[in-house]
Amino acid sequence: MSKKKLRSQEWYGRTGKDGIIYRSWMKNQGLPHHLFTGEKPVIGICNTWSELTPCNAHFRDLAEALKRGIWEAGGFPLEFPVMSLGECSIKPTAMLFRNLASMDVEESIRANPMDGVVLMCGCDKTTPSLVMGAASVNLPTLVLSGGPMLIGRFRGKKIGTSDIWRFAEDYKVGKLTQEDMIEVESSMSRSIGHCAPMGTASTMAAMVEALGLALPDNATIPAADSRRKVLAHLAGMRIVEMVKEDLTMDKILTRKAFENSIMVNAAIGGSTNFILHLTAIAKRIGVELDLTDFDHFSAKIPLIANVQPSGEHWVEDLFYAGGMPAVMKEIQKHLHTDALTVNGKTLGENITNAQCWDRNLIGTLENPIKPESGIAVLKGNLCPNGAVLKPSAATPSLLKHTGKAVVFENIDEYKAKVDDPELDIDETCVMVMKNVGPKGYPGMPEVGNMGLPKKLLEKGVKDMVRISDGRMSGTGFGTVVLHVSPESAIGGPLALVQNGDLIELDVPNRSLNLLISEEEFEKRRKNFVPTQLPYERGYVNLFLDKVNQAHEGVDFDFLQGSSGSEVKRDSH
């Protein structure tokens, strides 16, 4: 035990009135007095269990394994719930509430007697919201992810979330009936866990493993595999030691850790949502990181993991092939192997014995799955503060393309017009959607990979250039330009695009431009009428007021930084 008095003793170590208040009610749970005397570190278990977040619905069970580990190592576990965001259920988009959940997490950790915390994360937004909130408190913190689902099976084929977009197109052109679709949905989600491809949930689980916030193999052990519970047990044992070592988050989350995470995200062809979440986490912990870092550090890393949507297989397969340690080992010459991780070892030490068991799943630097991966950050007169594109999910021949804009002013206009046979569009056009940014929607939904017009799908068109200020699901793919900043709703240049304008996308040169004269640009700027933002009451009102733009991480301006873990005043 370290000589430093445990933080929880500021509550439980008190005498007189305060002591009785902080301890007595706790004892109604049958907890003996010796748990409160400061011998055992109190470990908060921040649990996003919810039946409305099906990806995290197994977390009560997983928490039991975690508690066994905490008890075994001499800790005292106390589990608490926080707001849980289910990607598949929440309207208008879970992203609208990521910052709200992070506030819940931050204040719950700070206000309560705990010495360390385990963040139980799974579905897309549950990881960034918990890590962001915890980073603003900075206790010893370890992330335990819930693990991916088992691979789905439909009529003899392996399927997962990334197939939804293909199934939806088949349904649109009559290749699948509604009955077929019901069979698809039952076959796809057949086990506990989050989405089976390298969507945002698994990207986030890989992100925390690469940052050093989680134990090795956290990202890939399937939720249904008993080794997930073993990992939880070991995580419980380890967090107790982390408290004794005072291994706080800021010691793990260094600039080197962020650079590692960007490189690893390229190696796995991770979600574009990674950019927003990692940027927000960096700003919470006080590490300088900007959009150009994502391009710079991912540029030298090819696609190593052959996992959907950038590759062919599934996160479950990746686990059997060696998991993230084996992937990271392939790119180790680029990584900062001296970066410290939660198990007290360096990243380099964690991967030194890793092995690849299947070269179909894990490529090498010399012989990668795809030569280009990572994130291309675009600049130009359409996106002065940047826009992003994921080359591994795009069609190579479209990466340099000039086409006529077909503009949808908002999501409603898109839905009303996209399948209209009269719509003036062919496969050389550039589809543009406005008003799906942080403020415009609001909440920046995953609609950027807008489905192609029915008449073009029927012709066999598979991809087109699409541009918006929105996001794309981590399972999505296509030549899709996202996160255009500033967004159209606040007068970003995207708002000025008109039907028929020529747009030039040049990914090799990292540019995105609207080909109109400067005079015409100025004229349109003068005539621009801002979108009426829905200034509703409550949280949405706060969101519209305080949210920053995509290139800044879509966090609230007042949440950047940390308030530490100290609370000076008592409750009574």
Residues contributing to the site for ligand FES (CB under 6 A): 55, 87-88, 123-124, 161, 194-195, 199, 201
Minimum CB distance to ligand FES smaller for 160 or for 553? 160
The answer to whether 455 touches 362, Cβ cutoff 8 Å, is no
Binding of Mg ion by 552 (CB under 5 A): no
Q: How far is the CB of 188 from ligand FES (least distance, A)?
A: 11
> Which two structure tokens, joined as six digits, stand for 202?
């698994």
Smaller CB separation from ligand FES, 88 or 457: 88
Nearest residue to 321 (alpha-carbon basis) of 354, 351, 352: 354
Amino acid at 489: A
> Smallest distance, Å, CB 55 to ligand FES?
3
Least distance to ligand FES from the beta carbon of 310, Å? 16
Query: 451: closest CA among 471, 425, 476, 421?
Result: 476
- How far apart, in Å, do the first and last CA atoms of the chain sit? 30
Nearer to Mg ion, 200 or 260 (CB): 200
C-alpha torsion angle, residues 389, 169, 161, 440 (rounded to 10): 50
- Give the count of residues interacting with Mg ion (CB under 5 A): 4
CB of 137 to ligand FES, least distance (A): 25
CA distance 479 to 470: 14
Which of Mg ion, ligand FES, none does residue 272 bind to, with CB < 5 to 8 Å depending on kind?
none
CB of 328 to ligand FES, least distance (A): 22
Nearest residue by C-beta to Mg ion? Answer: 473
341: left (phi over 0), alpha (psi -120 to 50) or beta: beta
Q: Which is nearer to Mg ion, 8 or 162 (CB)?
A: 162
The C-alpha angle with vertex 145 and arms to 119 and 470, in degrees rounded to 5, equals 90
- Separation in Å, CA 228 to CA 125, 215, 239: 20, 11, 16
Q: Name every residue whose Cβ is closer than 8 Å to that of residue 89 and which is 6 or more positions away in sequence.
A: 52, 53, 54
CB atoms within 10 A of CB 33: 9
Q: Which CB atom, from 123 or from 361, has the smaller least distance to ligand FES? A: 123
Pairwise CA distance, residues 324 & 319, whole Å: 8
CA distance linking residue 253 with residue 244, whole number of Å: 19
How far apart, in whole angstroms, are the C-alpha atoms of residue 270 and residue 438? 21
- Could you tell me the smallest distance in angstroms from the CB atom of residue 87 to Mg ion? 5
Least CB distance to ligand FES at residue 308 (A): 13
Q: Which does 88 bind (CB under 5 to 8 A by kind): ligand FES, Mg ion, none?
A: ligand FES
Q: Which does 201 bind (CB under 5 to 8 A by kind): Mg ion, ligand FES, none?
A: ligand FES
Neighbours of 426 (CB within 10 A): 15
Residue 88 or 181: which CB sits closer to ligand FES?
88
DSSP code, position 26: G
| Spatial distance between the Cα atoms of 114 and 14, rounded to a whole number of angstroms | 15
**Least distance to ligand FES from the beta carbon of 457, Å?**
24
Nearer to Mg ion, 126 or 138 (CB): 126
Helices (H) and strands (E) in the chain, counts: 20, 14
Residue (202 or 279) nearer to ligand FES, CB = 202
Interface with Mg ion in residues 113-132 (CB under 5 A): 124
Cβ atoms of 109 and 139 closer than 8 Å: yes
Residue 55 binding target from ligand FES, Mg ion, none, CB below 5 to 8 Å by type: ligand FES
Tell me the closest approach of the beta carbon of residue 195 to ligand FES, in angstroms: 3
- Measured from the Cβ of residue 398, the count of other Cβ atoms closer than 10 Å reads 20
Least spacing, CB of residue 483 vs Mg ion, in Å: 14
**Binder among 473, 479, 488, 531 for Mg ion (CB under 5 A):** 473
Given the complex with Mg ion, which of 256 and 466 has the nearer CB atom?
466
Choose the binding region for Mg ion from 61-69, 80-88, 144-152, 494-502 (rule: CB under 5 A).
80-88
E strand intervals along 8-65: 42-47
Check if the beta carbon of residue 160 is closer than 8 Å to that of residue 195: yes
Which residue's CB is nearer to ligand FES, number 201 or number 429? 201
CB of 278 to ligand FES, least distance (A): 18
Q: How far is the CB of 553 from ligand FES (least distance, A)?
A: 20
What's the Cα-to-Cα distance from 544 to each of 91, 244, 429, 555, rounded to whole Å? 16, 42, 32, 11
Of 53, 59, 63, 87, the one binding Mg ion (CB under 5 A) is 87
Joined tokens for residue 59: 């977390």
Q: Environment class of residue 333 by beta-carbon count within 10 Å: exposed (0-12), middle (13-18) or buried (19+)?
A: exposed
Decide which of ligand FES, Mg ion, none touches 123; Cβ closer than 5 to 8 Å per partner kind: ligand FES
473 binds, among Mg ion, ligand FES, none (CB under 5 to 8 A by kind): Mg ion
By three-state DSSP, how is residue 473 classified? Answer: coil
Residue 433 touches which of Mg ion, ligand FES, none (Cβ within 5-8 Å per kind): none
Contacts of 294 (CB under 8 A, 6+ apart): 262, 275, 278, 374, 375, 377, 388
| CB closer to ligand FES, 57 vs 376 | 57
The 167-206 contact track toward Mg ion, x by CB under 5 A, reads: ---------------------------------x------
Could you tell me the smallest distance in angstroms from the CB atom of residue 383 to ligand FES? 28
Q: Which partner, ligand FES, Mg ion, none, binds residue 229 by CB below 5 to 8 Å per kind?
A: none
State the amino acid at position 132 in one-letter form: M
Q: Choose between 8 and 449: whose C-beta lies nearer to ligand FES.
A: 449
Query: Where does residue 248 rank: exposed (0-12), middle (13-18), buried (19+ CB within 10 A)?
Result: middle
Nearer to ligand FES, 123 or 494 (CB): 123
Q: Which residues form the interface with Mg ion (CB under 5 A)? A: 87, 124, 200, 473
